[in-house]
Amino acid sequence: MTNYRIIVEYDGSRYDGWQKQGNTDQTIQGKIETVLERLCGQSVEVHGSGRTDAGVHALNQVANFHVDINKKGQEIMEYLNHYLPEDIRVKELGQVSERFHSRLNAQEKTYLYRIEMGEKKQVFDRKYIYGLHKSLDVKAMEQAAVLLCGEHDFKSFCSNRKMKKSTVRNLKKIEFEKRIPDFWSVLPEMDFSIIW
């Protein structure tokens, strides 16, 4: 069996997140597995580096899967991209060591939040930007970010209080960037990313 690592981008608007849940095939994992199973003629389990909630998008989601197939990596990637829905794309595919696991070997994750501060959300960006409809106090946000960076236990934010996995996370960096309106965006926006 060969272990392949893929980098996937997707628009999560019409999906129930990354991870399969029961019988639903409206997940990113489910869609990729269905195409791989058709290619391989057998069941394939795709492991993601993390889960996303319903409606959440990804620019570079890492995943891996094991298959025993007489095809080159480029052929597998082309097959995936041909049969996956147009809102899911495999950007990279490569062979990795047998022991590589996208979730267990993940070293950091970056979350990007986009906030529009105009009166009404842009038509073309409405699925990708949160419409706040007022200006943000960026200085206050930067001061608060300093307190959040570092190692903290986030158990109080978990709905499952008896979770056995560690809820300690190290927030490496929180960055803020006010974007200048361009041709498509006539309203001011704020991007902020959290890296942990």
DSSP letters along 122-147, please? -TTTTTTSEE--S---HHHHHHHHHH
Q: Are strands 110-116 and 130-131 parallel, antiparallel or unpaired?
A: parallel
> Does 87 participate in catalysis according to the annotation?
no
List helix spans (H) across the chain: 28-40, 73-83, 138-148
Angle at 124 between CA 123 and CA 127, to 5 degrees: 90
Encode burial over 132-167: b for 16+ CB neighbours within 10 A, e otherwise: eeeeeeeeeeeeebeeeeeeeeeeeeeeeeeeeeee
CATH code of domain 110-195: 3.30.70.660
**Chain position carrying tokens 């704020």:** 190
Sign of CA dihedral 36, 40, 41, 47: negative
pTM exceeding 0.75: yes
Domain assignments of the chain as residue spans, ordered by start: 2-96, 110-195
pLDDT tens digits, one per residue of 22-59: 766 899 999 999 999 999 999 999 999 988 888 899 99
The CATH T-level fold of domain 2-96 is Alpha-Beta Plaits (3.30.70)
Q: What is the pLDDT of residues 141-165, one digit of tens each?
A: 889 999 989 888 888 887 777 777 8
Please give the C-alpha separations between residue 62 and each of 125, 135, 142, 181, in angstroms, as whole numbers: 25, 34, 29, 31
The catalytic position among 11, 16, 25, 53 is 53
Q: Examine the pLDDT at 89 and tell me if it is beyond 90.
A: yes
Task: Give pLDDT tens digits for 118-145.
Answer: 777 777 777 888 888 888 888 898 899 9
Angle of CA points 60, 66, 67, to nearest 5°? 120
Q: What letter would DSSP give residue 87?
A: T
DSSP 69: -
Q: Residue 89 contacts by C-beta under 8 Å, 6 or more apart in sequence?
A: 8, 9, 10, 81
Tokens 């927030």 correspond to what residue? 171
CATH topology match: 2-96 vs 110-195: yes
Query: What is the β-pairing status of strands 189-195 and 110-116?
Result: antiparallel
Q: How confident is the model at residue 175 (pLDDT cuts 50, 70, 90)?
A: confident
